Amino acid sequence: MKWIWGLFLGLTYVGALELTPEITVQIDDCQKGHVLSCYEAGVALSTGKNAQDQEKKALGLDYIRRACKYGENKACDAMGENYFKDKHYGAAKPYFEASCERGVVTACSALGTIYRDGMDTRQDDEKSRIYYEKACALQDKDACINLAIIYRGGFGVDMNRSMEKSYYKKACDAGSDVGCKSFTRMDNKDKGIEEPSLWKKVKSLFN
């Protein structure tokens, strides 16, 4: 494939890097047009000890970027995660948007945080809530907790005790101890509200 050869014409220094036999095989397969091998070589070069070598990491990210461009979804997911980790939030956003559309829970949750905190973008409570809702529906317990906080504080929505409570329950169901404790605490308070007040109890003594 022409794009593979174009990649290597600009990376003639590859031979000067010390690479393991496994990575060398992956690069050879990538050069032959195997997109998945490009992704695998990229991951190997941009993680672990190799990530400490800036030349190897940069080369690895270039392989991953190319694999994403030519249809390897895992490579697109990895690009978003790498940009987010390196605090390049604006660059991570389009990759996360595509990943979230495919149901990648970490991408949806990350977008919720990006919009909540205005990371390299305009702060937007509504978009933050929408992405957290997607992540919560995919069983991300932290996203469910964040939604409970949104409804507790009225961030972009009306304060809503019932919604807050329901998201603590969802967080609990997803395995969050904090969610379980918060839901139980709210449930106990609700039960207390349903009980007669002290004044009503006193009045009842004279009836």
- Using alpha carbons only, give the angle 99, 104, 107 rounded to the nearest 5 degrees: 65
> Measured between alpha carbons, how far is 155 from 143 in angstroms, rounded to an integer?
15
Distant-in-sequence, close-in-space partners of 41: CB < 8 Å, separation ≥ 6: 23, 26, 27, 30, 60, 63
Residue 43 backbone class (left: φ over 0; alpha: ψ -120 to 50; beta: rest): alpha
Residue 122 backbone class (left: φ over 0; alpha: ψ -120 to 50; beta: rest): beta
* pLDDT tens-place values along the chain, 207 residues long: 444 444 543 444 555 577 889 999 999 999 889 999 999 999 999 999 988 999 999 999 999 999 999 999 999 999 999 999 999 999 999 999 999 999 999 999 999 999 999 999 999 999 999 999 999 999 999 999 999 999 999 999 999 999 999 999 999 999 999 999 999 999 887 764 444 444 345 445 444
Token pair, residue 81, equals: 């995660």
